[in-house]
Amino acid sequence: MTDGLARTAKRFAGAIAKIEAERQALAEQGLTALETADPETAKLALKVFVSRRKAASWLTHPVGSLEGITPWQCLADGKRDRVHNTLNAIAYGDYA
């Protein structure tokens, strides 16, 4: 039973790691696209998070202050000001 569990866990851990690497690569491509489509938002995200990886990742994760949706979805919904407000709040220590 233990060997079977170890094999199963190893298989799923490998698959999840592969998906996470693909997700991060896509997130970074999205940040590059955002730099062209909305340089002000991209610049603000990079200023707040310092690293491209962290900024790109933040854009793809649900944020409580955005009612649990991702910043990307907020931008798609035309709520750019909410993304900017949240980034500014993070910069000044109001949100994590």
**Mind listing the pLDDT tens digit for each residue in 12-53?**
999 999 999 999 999 999 999 999 999 999 999 999 999 999
Q: Residue 42 in contact with residue 34, Cβ under 8 Å?
A: yes
Query: Structural domain tally of the chain?
Result: 1
- What domain range includes position 78? 2-91
Q: Kindly report, residue by residue over 50-61, the tens digit of the pLDDT.
A: 999 999 999 999
pLDDT at 1: 59
pTM comes to 0.84
Q: 3-state class of 92 per DSSP?
A: coil
Residue written as token pair 């931008």: 75
Q: State the Cα–Cα distance between residues 2 and 33, nearest whole angstrom.
A: 46
* Residue 96 domain flag: no
Does residue 67 sit within a domain? yes
Judge whether 59 lies within some domain: yes
Residue 95 has what pLDDT? 63
- Confidence class of residue 93 from pLDDT cuts 50, 70 and 90? confident
Decide: helix, strand or coil at residue 69: strand
